[in-house]
Structure 1
Amino acid sequence: MSTPKFGFIGLGTMGEPMARRLVQAGYALTVFDLNEAAVDRLQALGATHAADPKTVADNAEIVFASLPTPDIVQKVALGDAGVIHGDKVRVFVDLSTTGPRTAKAVATGLQSKNVVAVDCPVSGGAAGAEKGTLALMVACPNATYEELLPILKCIGKPLFCGEAPGLGQTMKLVNNLVSVTALAVSCEALVMGVKAGLDPQVMLDVFNAGSARNSATADKLPRAVLPRTFDFGFTTALSLKDTRLCLDEAEAMGVPMPVGSSVRQVLNMTRAAFGDNADFTRITCLIEQWAGVEVPTRPHNPN
Structure 2
Amino acid sequence: MLRVTVRSPELHPIALRAGERLVFGRAPHGGDGGRRPGRYAVALPGCAPHVSRVLADLVVEDNGARLTWRGANEAMLAGLFEAPGGARRVTLVRGMSTVLDDGKNELIVFTGRRSGGQDTDLALTFMVTGAPRPGEPTEVRWTTDPVAPGVAVTEEAPGTLSRYSKSWYVALALAEPLLVGDDDEQRVPTYQEIHQRVRHWRGGEAWNLADPRRVDEVIKKISKIAFGEAHDPYTALRDGKLFNARFAVARRTAQRRLVTVEDLDEVERAAHTGSQAGPSAGGGSQTRLDQGRHR
| TM-score past 0.5 threshold | no
TM-score, normalised by the number of residues in structure 2? 0.30
- Which structure is richer in relative contact order (CA contacts within 8 A, separation 6 or more)? 2
Which is strand-richer, 1 or 2? 2
